[in-house]
A and B are shown apart, each in its own frame.
Chain A
Amino acid sequence: MTCMISSINPSIKMVAVLIPGILLGLTYDVFTPLLYLMFILVVTFTMTDIPITRWLKLFSPFLILASGFAWTTMLYANQTFSGGETLFSFWIFEVTAGSVQTGISVGLRSLCFGALSLMFILTTDSTKLMLSFMQQCKLSPKITYGILAGYRFLPIFQHELQIIRQAHRIRGVTREQGIKGRVNQFRRYAIPLLANGIRKAERVAIAMESKGFTGDPDRTHYRKMVARKRDWLFFVLMIGVLMTVFALSYHLGYLKIFGRQF
């Protein structure tokens, strides 16, 4: 039970996470995203087995990002969003109740995105995600296995990057300053990685075709990805709660869409 989200069909899970992400973009009040964020946290800590310390570590960049967004919005909100009395002002800035509200709302919204993303990423196996795209969303096998073949090289590239760093040190390549130096340095990493990567792409494609792979959608599936009732239940839960939050927020008179109060 604790690990239930890991077993949700990845395609359905993705849509269930994307829709709230898109719809939350409509709201500019504090109440709606805050309530939904609390719901996401409840789901995350009751229906997954992600250790809380690990989650916090991964979530903290979102906190920084969100407060950056919030601060920017507070200082620079336009007239539509910055109504209400002036709370305080400093230097050339005037911070109003309206802009504070909008700022916090925008910040909370990006925290919602972050929490939804983490919930998805930490409970989804890459191979299963791709197989589900192929089996549920009819993604062509050529693209599915093509992507997986490239993705498989990740550890190799990370290792190569490290070696290139060492090689540069041996050859006395120092960190270069200025735009030209930066660009040159960028190239010195990118070209060997890409050149090797392209050769590997060719080799692995030939190897796959040598094993009888033609990209034909008519193939058997050893790992059957299915959409069961509980997958749809999860979907209904995520979207249903969002709708409920919207309704509640409207009912209580908090809901604000693009600066307009409802």
Chain B
Amino acid sequence: MTNQWKLKEIVLMSILGVVFGVIYLAFFLVGEGLRNVLAPFGLAPFGYEVIYGVWFIVSIMAAYILRKPGVAFTAELIAGVVEVLLGSAAGPGLLLSAAIQGAGAELVFALTGWKDYRLRILVLSGMSAAVVSFAWHLYSAGMIALAPWLIVSTLAVRIISAALISGVLGKWLSDQLAKTGVLRGYALGKELQRKRKYETA
């Protein structure tokens, strides 16, 4: 699998991991406000769920940009490794969740034979990552002990967050990036160029 990938594609996945690691730290500390409001009601974890989709964005963007089998899974795993290298306190556990989430995202792309990268597929892929990762957290974070209505609503929030942040925002950001011309050497950039050529022809 990795032999079909170019070195620059692997470095790109790694860089996506680093950039979002940096942005995540800079931005989402702001989201703490929501968490503090919810905390007295024991709903603090809910606050994390709202932005949970950010964890899958690397996976979806990499798959959408590079369009090759295995990219969604590997990109997420690489992002996990990078997070560990950056010294994230969540540490090695992140690697496990990254592998599981990545597999969830990859599943949807695999079902299309890695041929369909329309918005609906990206959104589904994000939702799949959300469901699979949720199953893992039911076990690892002990969420299984919670009341069924809370489990279901947490899952719903995570799925919506994944659909919007990783699916919709991920695609939009990739398209914006393609317009800058830096993706010329990758599948998404090439597609854009073909389209432009077709339009001008």
Give the docked Cα–Cα distance between A193 and B25 (Å): 14
Residues of A within 8 A of B35 (CB): 68
B110 interface hit (Cβ, 8 Å):
no
Give the docked Cα–Cα distance between A101 and B22 (Å): 38
A7 interface hit (Cβ, 8 Å):
no
The interface centre, meaning the residue of A109, A143, A146 with most chain B CB atoms within 10 A of its CB, is: A146
Q: How far is the CB of A120 from chain B (nearest CB, A)?
A: 5
Q: Does B173 lie within 8 Å of A71, measured CB to CB?
A: no
Q: Of the listed stretches A20-28, A45-53, A244-252, name the one at the interface; the rest are far from the partner chain.
A: A20-28
**Which chain B residue shows the least CB distance to A165?**
B26
Give the docked Cα–Cα distance between A147 and B139 (Å): 30
Mark each residue of chain A from 110 to 154: 1 if its CB lies under 8 Å from any CB of chain B, else 0. 100110111011000010011000000000101101111111011
Q: Which residues of B are interface residues toward A (Cβ below 8 A)? A: 2-3, 5-8, 10-19, 21-23, 26-27, 35, 39, 41-45, 74, 78, 81-82, 84-93, 95-96, 139-142, 144-148, 150, 169, 173, 176-177, 180, 182-183, 185
B142's contact among A69, A116, A129, A143, by CB below 8 Å, is which? A69
Total number of residue pairs linking A and B with CB closer than 8 Å: 202
Residues of B within 8 A of A237 (CB): none
Q: Does B145 lie within 8 Å of A147, measured CB to CB?
A: no
A80 interface hit (Cβ, 8 Å):
yes
Give the docked Cα–Cα distance between A16 and B114 (Å): 36
10 intermolecular pairs with C-beta atoms under 8 Å apart = A22-B96, A28-B145, A68-B44, A73-B146, A74-B42, A109-B142, A142-B2, A142-B5, A147-B82, A215-B3
Q: Does A208 lie within 8 Å of B182, measured CB to CB?
A: no
A76's contact among B5, B26, B42, B90, by CB below 8 Å, is which? B42
Further 12 A-B residue pairs, CB within 8 A, beyond A117-B90, A189-B26: A18-B95, A58-B89, A68-B45, A77-B145, A130-B85, A161-B23, A187-B176, A191-B173, A194-B173, A201-B8, A204-B11, A208-B7
A150's contact among B15, B44, B140, by CB below 8 Å, is which? B15
Q: Does B7 lie within 8 Å of A117, measured CB to CB?
A: no
Give the docked Cα–Cα distance between A242 and B10 (Å): 37
Give the docked Cα–Cα distance between A61 and B89 (Å): 9
Give the docked Cα–Cα distance between A222 and B173 (Å): 41
Q: Does B78 lie within 8 Å of A201, measured CB to CB?
A: no
Q: How far is the CB of A136 from chain B (nearest CB, A)?
A: 15
**Which chain B residue shows the least CB distance to A18?**
B92
**Which chain B residue shows the least CB distance to A208?**
B7
- By size class, the interface of chain A is 35 or more
Q: How far is the CB of A107 from chain B (nearest CB, A)?
A: 9
A89 interface hit (Cβ, 8 Å):
no
Q: Does A198 lie within 8 Å of B177, measured CB to CB?
A: yes
Q: How far is the CB of A87 from chain B (nearest CB, A)?
A: 15
The A interface, classified by DSSP as helix, strand, loop or mixed, is helix
A43 interface hit (Cβ, 8 Å):
no
Q: Does B92 lie within 8 Å of A146, measured CB to CB?
A: no
Q: A78-B145, A202-B185 are in contact. Are A183 and B169 (CB under 8 A)?
A: yes
Give the docked Cα–Cα distance between A151 and B144 (Å): 36
Give the docked Cα–Cα distance between A149 and B145 (Å): 42
Q: How far is the CB of B45 from chain A (nearest CB, A)?
A: 6
Q: Does B92 lie within 8 Å of A191, measured CB to CB?
A: no
A261 interface hit (Cβ, 8 Å):
no
Q: Does A259 lie within 8 Å of B145, measured CB to CB?
A: yes
Q: Does B11 lie within 8 Å of A146, measured CB to CB?
A: yes
Residues of B within 8 A of A194 (CB): 15-16, 19, 173, 177, 182
A205 interface hit (Cβ, 8 Å):
yes
Q: How far is the CB of B51 from chain A (nearest CB, A)?
A: 11
Q: How far is the CB of A189 from chain B (nearest CB, A)?
A: 6
A195's contact among B21, B74, B177, by CB below 8 Å, is which? B177
Give the docked Cα–Cα distance between A80 and B173 (Å): 44
Give the docked Cα–Cα distance between A61 and B90 (Å): 10
Q: Does A147 lie within 8 Å of B10, measured CB to CB?
A: yes
